[in-house]
Amino acid sequence: MIDLTAFLFPLLFKLPQMVIIGFCLYYWSKRQSIDGILMTIGSVIIFAVSVFTTFAPQFLFNTDTDYVTIMMYVSGIGGIGSIAFAVGFGIMIASVLKEKRNTALDDVAGV
């Protein structure tokens, strides 16, 4: 039987990732743009990989599966999630800077 505290305690360290997912979902709901989609998908993938790597050893320990190969694929999926988040974040930064520049130019032009 699995000890409940040993099972739930690692989830405490996942709270910051859950907060980031919440912020990404909020941003996506407000902007409805590709950067919000990429950041949300990336953060969800990263969270899923993190949860899997936390609990997989407990469940795969007594099986005859190749743990190293499984973790190699899971790490690759996590890398894809990280890239998706980074691209979305970069697009968001670029769009914010573009909006700021346009606002500053409008202020200078007196519009």
pLDDT in tens, 28-84: 999 889 999 999 999 999 999 998 888 887 777 777 778 788 888 989 999 999 999
Question: Is residue 71 assigned to a domain?
Answer: yes
Q: What pLDDT is attached to residue 19?
A: 92
Question: Is residue 40 assigned to a domain?
Answer: yes
Question: Is residue 76 assigned to a domain?
Answer: yes
Question: Is residue 15 assigned to a domain?
Answer: no
Between 23 and 3, the higher pLDDT residue? 23
**Structural domain range at position 100:** 32-109
Q: What pLDDT is attached to residue 1?
A: 54
Question: Is residue 73 assigned to a domain?
Answer: yes
Exposed, middle or buried: residue 43 (CB in 10 Å: 0-12, 13-18, 19+)? buried
CA separation for the pair 71, 53 (Å, rounded): 8
Question: Is residue 41 assigned to a domain?
Answer: yes
Single pTM value for the model: 0.79
Question: Is residue 23 assigned to a domain?
Answer: no
CA separation for the pair 42, 59 (Å, rounded): 25
Q: What is the count of structural domains for the chain?
A: 1
